[in-house]
Amino acid sequence: MTADCDVLIAGAGPAGAALACALAHLPLRVLLVDAAPLPDPKAADRRALALGLGSQRILQGLDVWSTLAEQATPIRRVEVTEKGWPGVTRLAASELGQPALGWVLGDIALQRALLARLEDSSVRRAAVAVTALADGGEALAVTACKADGVAYQVTTRLLVAADGSDSAVCRLAGLRRHQRELPHSVLLGRLHTDRAHSGVAHERFAAEGPMALLPGAHPLDYTVVWTLPHERAQDLITLPAAHLIPLLQSAFGWRAGRFVALTESRCVRLREAWLTGTTANRLVAIGSAANTLHPIAAQGFNLGLRDVAELATGLAAAAAVGADPGSADLVRAYQQGRQADWRGVRQATRWLPCLFENPAPPLAAVRGLGLASLDVLAPLKRRLMVRAMGVTAPQSRLQRGYTS
């Protein structure tokens, strides 16, 4: 079967659009499809993404960071504390000689910049949904459906599932998925304080649930992410801001100043999901289609961008020698190359909430001592910072900020 394209990317969200940008300069026929409408130029961001230094370098390699830099808020320091205990861990970019540990950026702003980068490229785009797959040997036959119900078929040598945590492509391919709804929700909102954040992000652990404050574009604003038991979160989100703010202040304390106003508050139920059967003929998954994680370490999108870097590196090597971009060897190499990173991040996002949810005094004392000790153990703290920033070795060209 002769293929219509070399790589078909299903999903034009940030992960799929980033992969399209990474492949745009290669001698590959790339098609990016998504049935969802393009983000409105005036649309507000749906969520704040905490990008590690490694992710910023990838976006630099994709030639979009110069557009995003003015919209991104640098995280120059992170403070990790536990309510009721004096221990604190401070992680500062200056200790690594870097301008920032990471940046906070809106998801819609990122998606718009990535899609704009594709406008003058050879990447084709189509507003369709993938509705069926069929194996054609040397290519996959993909049935695509337009909004008006008209369906047509396109063949591709590699299909990339980038269509989110409830990936239709993975379901159509029969990939097995572990998934469960967690007993928690996150309460989100924009928090206005009376003290400038100065680029400091906070992670506050308490028995009721961890709370993160991410510095916002305005010097007095944070994005608050409070993980709570689902029923508790549902109760709190019904409260007027005037009643909810004192509860937020009580849970967090005064390290970030006085909480003055709360806007754009909402509640999102948490779940985790990842592929257990990770291989399929001529198909790979990236981003939340491969892993949907607890948000406690803000690693979900960073993990997805590393998926993009790994896959783009493999496809660039294949294109350089004219190899099949959907070969079993390439698919297998991608899956094997990502397993350790996927597994490590999944484990961390599962045990961190459990560790800090246990209120037993002996364990709480050990945690407090650990936070205080880590602040003075420079080598260990440095390793933690490098890991959190996503700049551990080995690094591909794209992960070092160069076009793959």
Return the structure tokens found at 337.
């190359």
Question: Would residue 388 count as lying in a domain?
Answer: no
Banded pLDDT at 272 (limits 50, 70, 90): confident
In whole angstroms, give the CA distance from residue 112 to residue 46: 13
The β-bridge partners of 381 are none
In whole angstroms, give the CA distance from residue 383 to residue 399: 18
Question: Would residue 370 count as lying in a domain?
Answer: no
Q: According to the model, what pLDDT value does residue 301 have?
A: 86
Q: Is the pLDDT of residue 114 over 60?
A: yes
In whole angstroms, give the CA distance from residue 100 to residue 35: 36
Distances (CA, A) of 176 to 15, 225, 285: 21, 30, 12
The β-bridge partners of 142 are 133, 154
Q: Which residues contact 114 (CB under 8 A, 6 or more apart)?
A: 14, 17, 18, 20, 21, 62, 64
Q: What's the Rg (C-alpha) of the chain?
A: 22
CA 174 to chain centre: 24
In whole angstroms, give the CA distance from residue 335 to residue 367: 36
Amino acid at 247: L
CB–CB of 63/21 below 8 Å? yes
In whole angstroms, give the CA distance from residue 351 to residue 346: 9
Across the range 334-343, mean pLDDT stands at 89
Question: Would residue 188 count as lying in a domain?
Answer: no
CB–CB of 374/89 below 8 Å? yes
In whole angstroms, give the CA distance from residue 264 to residue 246: 17
Q: Is the pLDDT of residue 382 over 70?
A: no
Any idea what the CATH number is for the domain that residue 14 is in? 3.50.50.60
What b/e readout covers 199-232, taking b as 16+ CB neighbours within 10 angstroms? bbbbbbbbebbbbbbbbbeeebbbbbbbbbeeee
In whole angstroms, give the CA distance from residue 251 to residue 242: 15
Banded pLDDT at 2 (limits 50, 70, 90): low
Range with the largest mean pLDDT of 50-59, 73-82, 86-95, 258-267: 258-267
Question: Would residue 265 count as lying in a domain?
Answer: no
Across the range 139-152, mean pLDDT stands at 92
Across the range 2-25, mean pLDDT stands at 94
CB–CB of 190/221 below 8 Å? yes
Banded pLDDT at 124 (limits 50, 70, 90): very high
> For residue 15, which of 299, 395, 308 has the smallest C-alpha distance?
308
Amino acid at 79: E
Return the structure tokens found at 10.
């299903």
Q: Is the pLDDT of residue 391 over 60?
A: no
> For residue 78, which of 187, 214, 176 has the smallest C-alpha distance?
214
| pLDDT digit string, tens, across residues 49-68 | 889 888 999 999 999 999 99
Predicted TM-score (pTM) of the model is 0.87
| pLDDT digit string, tens, across residues 194-241 | 999 999 999 888 778 889 999 999 999 999 999 999 999 999 999 999
Banded pLDDT at 3 (limits 50, 70, 90): confident
| pLDDT digit string, tens, across residues 281-333 | 999 999 999 988 766 555 678 899 999 999 999 999 999 999 999 999 999 99
Q: According to the model, what pLDDT value does residue 29 have?
A: 97
Q: According to the model, what pLDDT value does residue 372 have?
A: 43
Q: Is the pLDDT of residue 361 over 50?
A: no
Number of structural domains (the chain) is 1
CA 309 to chain centre: 14
Mean pLDDT of the chain: 85
Q: Which residues contact 275 (CB under 8 A, 6 or more apart)?
A: 170, 175, 176, 177, 178, 285, 290, 291
Helix (H) or strand (E) holding 19: helix 14-23
Across the range 364-382, mean pLDDT stands at 43
CB–CB of 158/326 below 8 Å? yes
Q: Is the pLDDT of residue 368 over 70?
A: no
| pLDDT digit string, tens, across residues 275-286 | 886 568 999 999
Q: According to the model, what pLDDT value does residue 282 have?
A: 95
In whole angstroms, give the CA distance from residue 369 to residue 374: 8
The residue range of the domain holding 332 is: 5-78+107-179+272-355
Question: Would residue 199 count as lying in a domain?
Answer: no
Return the structure tokens found at 361.
């005094």
Question: Would residue 38 count as lying in a domain?
Answer: yes
Return the structure tokens found at 284.
């790979």
Question: Would residue 278 count as lying in a domain?
Answer: yes
Range with the largest mean pLDDT of 162-171, 348-357, 381-390: 162-171
Tokens 């090597």 correspond to what residue? 317
Question: Would residue 209 count as lying in a domain?
Answer: no
